[in-house]
Structure 1
């Protein structure tokens, strides 16, 4: 299990790097394109395409990272009123349903990638195979599913309430 957590830490480090550099690169590229359009009256033909690809990369790479940090969207109005043991059981149930959904979406995304490969679709400006842009989608959902599996495991093994796998929910250490 310790090896699993070390691999998880490595994946988190790589994901942080991908997210940070993806956002910085996207911002730099799109700002340069705006400046180029305003000053030189010429737009970079591939800027929107690269920006869109980076947006896909950042969005779907962030799925597992958000699950790890417990920063995903959640509705807590009813959840916060429940006793701690009920919150823990609900967290395990929600993590299981989310994990199963992510696995299902990953398989759909793999089918889509196979379909776009068969069609031979390419992007308009750079003529890169379209399936390459979509390849990050099943990876992101797959990493998210792994994070939710880890969330289930940690909530079963540890006494605290873990919304993400990094630390227990504040003020909710004992069950």
Structure 2
């Protein structure tokens, strides 16, 4: 008798399991379940914050482009320059800069000097990475505290912008906020390095991920 033809596996059967179901791919898989759940809630909150920051940064860039184009059109077409555009662009640049502190720290995109670290063993690299993150976190937190003190003095003075007459205290509130959020991101990076294996530039970005992107072997 002829044996029945073998059935080829379907696409669903040959598809590899998702990475989320593989505990080996989770850098926090060795932690107790309560800590993993806490980390999951922590990460969801950070994702929501990242979404808000992304939209605010996009609105700042769009506002700067709109104000610049409107001023060029007014000056060259109508022979009239909008008096508030330069002031508005300075305000938006201020917001863009300090919102970018937290966003850049979350993505591990702040400038680092790694000439000496490249020659050190992995364990020492991680120790020095954590030390740098601790110093940066403390410095940003201290600057945020100084910015709050300066913001209080602005609020008492009641100063406003020359053209738009907007409160400087309200506009400069982004300074301590951005510094504090940056300190929070470095604190999260410290916790990630202490809880997970490997070296981490932020809660989401491993150091090897950055190296893969630099040498072209990893996708953005």
Q: TM-score, normalised by structure 1?
A: 0.94
SS of residue paired to 2:160: coil
Larger Rg: 2
Question: Following superposition, which runs of at least 4 residues in structure 1 exceed 2 angstroms of deviation?
Answer: none
SS of residue paired to 1:127: coil
Q: Report how far residue 129 of structure 1 moved.
A: 0.9
SS of residue paired to 2:208: coil
1:82 corresponds to = 120
Q: 2:91 aligns with which of 49, 53, 63?
A: 53
Q: 1:29 aligns with which of 67, 87, 92?
A: 67
Larger helix share, 1 or 2: 1
Does 1 or 2 have the higher relative contact order (CA < 8 Å, sep 6+)? Answer: 1
1:9-45: CA deviations, max 9, x gaps?
A: 1001111111112112211211211221122111111
Structure 1 unmatched ranges of 5 or more: none
Question: 1:133 & 1:79 partners in 2: Cα distance?
Answer: 40
Aligned residues: 172
Q: 1:143 aligns with which of 177, 181, 184?
A: 181
Q: CA RMSD in A?
A: 1.3
Structure 2 unmatched ranges of 5 or more: 1-37, 212-220
Question: 2:172 & 2:147 partners in 1: Cα distance?
Answer: 8
CA contact (8 A) 1:71 1:164 kept: no
